[in-house]
Amino acid sequence: MADVVHSSIETISLAEARALVVAGRVSAAALAEEHYERIAAVDPEIHSYLALTRERAMLQAEKIDAAVKAGDPVGALAGVPVGIKDVLTVKGVVTTAGSKILEGYRPPYDATVVRKLEAAGAVVLGKLNCDEFAMGSSNENSAYGPVKNPRALDRVPGGSSGGSAAAVAAGLCVASLGTDTGGSIRQPAAFCGVVGVLPTYGRVSRYGLIAFASSLDRVGPFARSVEDAATMLEVLAGADEMDATSSHEAVGSYVAETKKGVEGLRIGVPEEYFGEGLNAEIRAAIEKALDGLRAAGCSIHKVSLPHTKYAVPTYYVIATAEASSNLSRFDGVRFGLRSKDATTLAAMFRNTRDEGFGAEVKRRILLGTYVLSAGYYDAYYRKAQQVRALLTRDFVQAFEKVDAIVAPVTPTAAFKLGEKTDDPLQMYLEDIYSVAASLAGICGMSVPCGVTAEGLPIGVQVLGKHFDEATMLRVGAAIEAGQGPA
């Protein structure tokens, strides 16, 4: 078998990588090894990986190569090198969720999504850097140092799945897994110029995901094209007996859907997403994408999502409340860090959490504990759940008139490292266009749609009805096709 052509590794698609392996033109082992060589050369500057799983990867690659040589059937991801966000468990591999409190923790089981990827033939290269416990919009909250945007090293890659987006953008894996609680797949995808998919809540199993906010957390893929993301989603989607919130809704043939046209589809444009604060270059790029959809046969309609202005505060009440509850399990007793500076049990709890959690995680635990406390629960948490129902209703009513919604992902392109770290409120406002879809449980994706005058990537957000990933991917593929050569 031949080796991989070095010049193509940064841009090789999932379909191309699999085809090379299945045709015997390159071995899965050689493909993995070339990615490890590139990681060694490029990643010290980007810092997208926290741990490499070389031994496991090479065993999987050799298994794929043996199957190809024997003429046995192989999966949809045969030989494809992938990375896994460090909030997803991989058996025996250090899994930290970007936090010191889990430093050195090796889980005894694989997340369902990891098991599904490997069953389809994927080769897991390692664990990817992220904001601590997936809390952040810039990947600067990782206890192990920030990730840099490979498109501009002085910029953030977005968060919390910054390592997952950066690794795909930099050619350090062909595809990756991230998680999205309030925008953590879509925003990094937009900042790094790759495709990122937020599946409907319940579409993909959360078993093995270290929880931030359980009613919001979702696992989804990053890839270099809509078709590649669809291939990943087809593998990942489906019910899981280990996750009671996973849905038994039928899984579509997502790859086939990306090849369908969009003629006759009705596209909604929410007026609330195009107001003050949206960067002019991003607005122009999205309008150009809408022009492309018109040319492809879509009709464009204004829609209203009237409760949008309440989305950010609602999200930061609900998400922090759930985080406060979920993170109470990290106490120094069962796993991870245990403070050595304690003489009583209470002091051990307190000191472990003080030493192990970073500033942003502590801030959100405090906020969440406050809104759940006696006397404030009704005023904040219950009220936020009521507003969440209104936000969901906004989308349901809009989707009675349109097949998909197109909007910005972020108000700006990637900002500079350190630019917003001293102002949490400004950082939270980065989620202004993404959290409503998270609260409503619908599906969404970010598709590259141009660059700014400074050469920074711009993403456009496509939102779909509950469990209608098929239409969302069709629209995403049409936008991608309308971009032409880069």
- Active-site residue (options: 13, 138, 160, 438): 160
- Active-site residue (options: 85, 116, 420, 465): 85
Residue 99 annotated as catalytic: no
Q: What are all long-range contacts of 100-103, with beta carbons under 8 Å and residues at least 24 apart?
A: 100/143, 100/337, 100/355, 100/356, 100/357, 100/358, 101/330, 101/336, 101/337, 101/352, 101/353, 101/355, 101/356, 101/357, 102/210, 102/330, 102/335, 102/336, 102/337, 102/356, 103/143, 103/336, 103/337, 103/356
Count of Cβ atoms closer than 10 Å to residue 98 Cβ: 32
Residue with tokens 């993301």: 229
Compute the distance between CA of residue 200 and CA of residue 210 in angstroms, rounded to an integer. Answer: 19
Q: Side chain identity at 390, as an amino acid letter?
A: L
Compute the distance between CA of residue 220 and CA of residue 119 in angstroms, rounded to an integer. Answer: 17
- Active-site residue (options: 13, 164, 184, 434): 184
Return all residues near 69 (Cβ < 8 A) that are at least 6 apart: 24
Residue 438 annotated as catalytic: no
10 Å CB burial of residue 463 (0-12, 13-18, 19+) is buried
| Half-sphere CA count of 400, side-chain side, radius 13 A | 7
Q: Across-strand partners of 219? A: 179
Q: Which two tokens stand for residue 152?
A: 């501009």
Residue 85 annotated as catalytic: yes
Compute the distance between CA of residue 247 and CA of residue 173 in angstroms, rounded to an integer. Answer: 29
Catalytic residue annotation: 85, 160, 184
